[in-house]
Structure formats: C-alpha cells, structure tokens
Amino acid sequence: MKVVQTNYGMDVDILFNLDPYTARPIMVSDEDVTADANGRKIVKAGTPLDVDGKLANDATARYVLLKDIDVTYGPKAGAGVYRGTLNKDKIKDYAGITLDAAAITALKGIIFMSDADLDY
C-alpha cells in the first residue's frame, strides 16, 4: 500500500454536535469508487459503508465514514462511526448522498439530524 497524504482544504465535520461518538478503524475499499477529474479516488466523509468497508447505502450499512479517505492506490484505513449524532444535511451537501431509509434503519446507533429538526 502506497502512503500519500494530501490535504485538499478544510476537513468537513459531519457530526451534528460535540456529543461523544464512537468509531472504529475500518479498511475502506476502493471497489465501486469513481475517480475524480484529477484521477483521485476519494471516499467522502458521510459515506455509509458495510462491514467490509464497501459503499453501502442500503440495509447492509454498518458505519458512516468520519473523514475523507483517498483510496486511489487501494484500500486504506479510516474511521467508521457506529454511534453518535450526525448531520444529514452536511452528508447530503458534501458527499452528495441522500441516505436511504434502509441504511438509516440499519445504522441503529446513529441519530441523523438537521437544523430543521431543532424546535427552539
């Protein structure tokens, strides 16, 4: 595995608030990841993943990727959130993913919220 560290700008924070969250290290797969205009395969923060680290916006989802991971040169370690409160609007705006109802149900330990959910 080739190690390349490149920062393309500010990190995106998909957490809704600073409540504790729980994540575990997972190998993020490069399968089904399309290269961008620069030839880079970036799995964006907020992407739902299955137990094998593959993209899974369905009932097989077990984690949500906490930070962007570059898998251009093959699978790479990342942090998979499995408990906490995440901002579904940031996930949609940044990663371009509208979470499927089956994925939300499968991600039992995660609460998905947006500013519109607040009533104060």
More confident: 110 or 9: 110
Query: Rounded to a whole number, what is the largest CA-CA distance in the chain?
Result: 49
Enclosing domain of residue 54: 22-115
pLDDT at 8 over 70: no
CATH number where 90 lies: 2.40.300
Model pLDDT, residue 1:
59
Could you give phi then psi for residue 110, rounded to 5 degrees? -110, 135
Asked, for residue 14, whether it belongs to a domain, the answer is no
Asked, for residue 65, whether it belongs to a domain, the answer is yes
CB hemisphere CA count around 48 (13 angstroms): 25
Asked, for residue 9, whether it belongs to a domain, the answer is no
In total, how many domains does the chain have?
1
pLDDT at 69 over 60: yes
pLDDT per position as a tens digit, 19-63: 899 999 999 999 999 999 999 999 999 999 999 999 999 999 999
Q: What is the 3-state secondary structure (H, E, C) of 4-46?
A: CCCCCCCCCCCECCCCCCEEEEEEECCCCCCCCCCCCCEECCC
Closest CA to 118 of 20, 16, 15, 21: 16
Asked, for residue 63, whether it belongs to a domain, the answer is yes
Asked, for residue 3, whether it belongs to a domain, the answer is no
pLDDT at 6 over 70: no
Asked, for residue 2, whether it belongs to a domain, the answer is no
Asked, for residue 77, whether it belongs to a domain, the answer is yes
pLDDT per position as a tens digit, 72-112: 999 999 999 999 999 999 999 999 999 999 999 999 999 99
